[in-house]
C-alpha cells in the first residue's frame, strides 16, 4: 500500500533541511568566487532536490511496524541539552576551522558534515543494518548521564543525514537498496564538490 500523504510530508521536511544546508552556503555569499559560483550553487541544490524526490517516493511505501520508538524530539528533551550545546560548539568550531583557510565559517561546517556522512554512506553499502543499529543505540539509548548524552549528540552531528537516508532505503529490496545507496554516495560527492567550487578561486 502506498501513502502519498507520507511521501509529501517527508519531501517537505527534507526540503527544510536542504534550505538549512543552502543557507550555510548563502551566508558566506560575499566570499563566493566570481567564476561560476552561481552555477555550482544551483547544481548543489538541484542534485540534492532530485534525490529528495526519489527518497520521498520511496518513503511512501508502507512498511511493517516495528517496535515503537520515542521521537528524536522527545529523546533530546530528556537528555542534557547543555552537553548537546557543548558538543555542537566544539565540533563546529574545530571541524569548521579545519577548512577555514579556504572555506569560510560556517560553510566549512557543512562540507565537513557531508564528508563524514559520505564515509558512513560507504560503510552502509556493506553493513546498512549495523550502521542503522549503531546510530539508534547511541541516539535512543535511555541511559542517563554525561557519557550517553555525549555519544548521543556526537552520533547526531556526524551521521544523522546518512541514518535518515538509510532508514528510507531499508524499505527497498536488497538490490535497489544498494543501487540507491551508490546514488546517495554520488550525490554526496557532487554536493561536496559543488560546495567547494563555490569558494574556489
| Per-residue model confidence as pLDDT tens digits over 32-64 | 987 778 899 999 999 999 999 999 999 998 765
**pLDDT > 60? residue 66:** no
Residues 6+ apart with CB under 8 A from 142: 78
Q: What nine digits make up the cell of 69?
A: 520508538
Residues 6+ apart with CB under 8 A from 56: 7, 8, 10, 11, 14
User: Which has more pLDDT, 73 or 170?
Assistant: 170
The whole-number average pLDDT for the span 11-27 is 95
User: Which has more pLDDT, 20 or 82?
Assistant: 20
Q: Which pLDDT score is estimated for 6?
A: 92
The span from the CA of 73 to the CA of 62, in Å, is 23
Q: How confident is the model at residue 71 (pLDDT cuts 50, 70, 90)?
A: low
The mean pLDDT of the chain is 87
What is the number of structural domains in the chain? 1
Contact criterion met (CB below 8 Å) for 194 and 44: yes
Q: Which pLDDT score is estimated for 145?
A: 83
| Per-residue model confidence as pLDDT tens digits over 76-117 | 666 778 887 888 888 877 766 776 677 888 888 899 899 999
Q: Cα 157 to the chain's mean position, in Å?
A: 9
The whole domain housing 107 covers 4-63+70-199
| Per-residue model confidence as pLDDT tens digits over 162-181 | 999 999 999 999 999 999 99
Amino acid at each position: 500500500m502506498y501513502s502519498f500523504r507520507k511521501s509529501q510530508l517527508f519531501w517537505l521536511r527534507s526540503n527544510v533541511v536542504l534550505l538549512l544546508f543552502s543557507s550555510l552556503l548563502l551566508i558566506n555569499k560575499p566570499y563566493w568566487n566570481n567564476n561560476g559560483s552561481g552555477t555550482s550553487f544551483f547544481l548543489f541544490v538541484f542534485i540534492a532536490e532530485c534525490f529528495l524526490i526519489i527518497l520521498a517516493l520511496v518513503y511512501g511505501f508502507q512498511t511493517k511496524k516495528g517496535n515503537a520508538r520515542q521521537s528524536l524530539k522527545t529523546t533530546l528533551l530528556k537528555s542534557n541539552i547543555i552537553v548537546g550545546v557543548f558538543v555542537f560548539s566544539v565540533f563546529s568550531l574545530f571541524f569548521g576551522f579545519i577548512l577555514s583557510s579556504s572555506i569560510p565559517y560556517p560553510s566549512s561546517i557543512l562540507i565537513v558534515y557531508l564528508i563524514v556522512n559520505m564515509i558512513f554512506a560507504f560503510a552502509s553499502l556493506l553493513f546498512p543494518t549495523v550502521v542503522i543499529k549503531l546510530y539508534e543505540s547511541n541516539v535512543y539509548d535511555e541511559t542517563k548521564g554525561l557519557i550517553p548524552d555525549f555519544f548521543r549528540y556526537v552520533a547526531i552531528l556526524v551521521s544523522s543525514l546518512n541514518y535518515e537516508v538509510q532508514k528510507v532505503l531499508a524499505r527497498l529490496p536488497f538490490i535497489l537498496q544498494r543501487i540507491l545507496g551508490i546514488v546517495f554516495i554520488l550525490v554526496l560527492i557532487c554536493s561536496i564538490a559543488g560546495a567547494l567550487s563555490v569558494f574556489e578561486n
